């Protein structure tokens, strides 16, 4: 009897998502981009959006960029500052284990939770803008404009680009999985650039630089000390390796989003 009641309890939500008297509004703003989240009906979201437009137009003398603004259901998500902000729910039960033991307990997973996702379109545009190659079919290309640079300079330039986008999307729930494809193309583009510079094949360059799972370039100072530079590698957390040193980076409503605003 107790087990049956416990199982029934875990199937019940912690709150009433359909409570007609419950309302809540959140908002966040960065510069001239604003995201408003509302637990309520679509009509109420439209009213809030209209009031925001009126305030900006009459009081602040600003116009909203219509192409970047709109009302979206939270489950569909909307784009904000390069992220996709989306509400996801999960009714599955989570099995809790102790080390080297069988299941000892179960609990409900989080329901109706906001997630940040990396949009694939942003990664594709970044890949094309940087000249890594064709993102869709994983076809890397070299960067002829960098052939006059030193090998270490080329590696550090790739690292700066990869570290920048990895740190920017570190808050995303799917950061590691979403960035894996871009990281692969960037690494292949790096090998293709060095292969083009030294008139070798990509496999020859990879064999020369590969140390375990890392691609490394070793230089020597005037005193004969070795200095190793490692290509950016993303692990479970974002792990940046530079000159042999490692730095670890721990990584039901409607949403009305307001895009860029400008003076009338």
| Nearest-angstrom CA–CA distance, 153 and 106 | 52
Tokens of 116: 């940040």
Q: How far is CA 85 from CA 40, 78, 146, in A?
A: 17, 5, 36
Cα distance from N-terminal residue to C-terminal residue, the chain: 68
Residue 25 confidence (pLDDT) above 50: yes
Tokens of 14: 């912690």
Contacts of 252 (CB under 8 A, 6+ apart): 17, 18, 39, 74, 87, 112
Is residue 183 within a helix (H) or strand (E), and if so which, with residue range? helix 175-198
Question: 66-78, pLDDT tens digit by residue?
Answer: 888 888 888 888 8
C-beta of residue 162 within 8 angstroms of C-beta of residue 123: no
pTM value is 0.69
For residue 86, which of 76, 95, 96 has the smallest C-alpha distance? Answer: 76
Question: 155-204, pLDDT tens digit by residue?
Answer: 999 999 999 999 999 888 888 888 989 999 999 999 999 999 999 999 99
Residue 253 confidence (pLDDT): 40
């Amino acid at each position: 009897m107790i087990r049956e009641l416990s199982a029934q309890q875990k199937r019940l939500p912690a709150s009433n998502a359909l409570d007609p008297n419950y309302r809540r509004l959140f908002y966040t703003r960065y510069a001239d981009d604003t995201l408003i989240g509302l637990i309520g009906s679509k009509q109420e979201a439209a009213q809030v959006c209209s009031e925001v437009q009126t305030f900006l137009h009459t009081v602040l003398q600003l116009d909203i960029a219509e192409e970047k603004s709109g009302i979206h259901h939270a489950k569909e998500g909307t784009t904000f500052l390069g992220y996709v902000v989306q509400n996801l729910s999960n009714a599955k039960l989570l099995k809790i284990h102790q080390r080297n033991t069988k299941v000892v307990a179960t609990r409900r997973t989080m329901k109706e939770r906001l997630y940040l996702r990396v949009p694939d379109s942003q990664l594709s545009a970044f890949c094309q803008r940087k000249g890594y190659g064709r993102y869709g079919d994983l076809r890397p290309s070299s960067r002829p404009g960098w052939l006059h640079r030193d090998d270490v300079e080329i590696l550090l330039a790739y690292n700066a680009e990869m570290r920048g986008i990895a740190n920017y999307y570190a808050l995303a729930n799917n950061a590691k999985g979403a960035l894996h494809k871009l990281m692969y193309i960037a690494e292949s583009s790096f090998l293709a650039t060095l292969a083009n510079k030294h008139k070798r094949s990509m496999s020859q360059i990879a064999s020369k630089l590969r140390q375990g799972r890392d691609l490394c370039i070793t230089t020597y100072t005037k005193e004969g000390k070795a200095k190793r530079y490692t290509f950016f590698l993303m692990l479970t957390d974002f792990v940046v390796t530079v000159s042999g040193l490692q730095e670890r980076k721990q990584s039901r409503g409607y949403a009305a989003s307001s895009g860029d605003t400008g003076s009338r």
